[in-house]
Homo-oligomer: A and B are copies of this chain.
Amino acid sequence: MDNLGWVAIISILTAGMCMAVGSIGPAIGEARALVQALNSIAQQPDETGTITRTLFVGMAMVESTAIYCFVVAMILIFANPFWTYFISGIKG
């Protein structure tokens, strides 16, 4: 197997694992925040507006780390500079 092949398979592998590992933290974290929000609403129905607003702004911030991972995965699959280099020269 030549350079071209190795770059391809490592890009595939890394993109998939990066997305998979990177989604564990945000998924569990956002869920915990959601749990607390539901709890707070039950305790303080009058503050529902403030709570849900803070919740969604905060979740967007947590979501950002998942999006970093998604961005890296997409770069590796569709805009990989190493792959571009190798297929331009066809010298592997």
**Could you tell me which A residues sit within 8 Å of B by CB distance?**
1-48, 50-52, 54-55, 58-59, 61-66, 68-70, 72-73, 75-78, 80-83, 85-87, 92
Contact = CB atoms under 8 A, between A and B. Distances in A.
B41 A62 contact: no
**Number of chain copies forming the complex:** 14
Contacts of A52: 54
Q: Is the interface of A mostly helix, strand, loop or mixed?
A: helix
Contact of A37 (B38, B47, B69, B76): B38
A72 B68 CA distance: 12
Given A16-B18, A32-B32, A45-B46, 13 more contacts: A1-B2, A7-B12, A8-B85, A13-B14, A23-B26, A23-B65, A24-B24, A26-B65, A34-B58, A35-B36, A37-B38, A39-B42, A40-B42
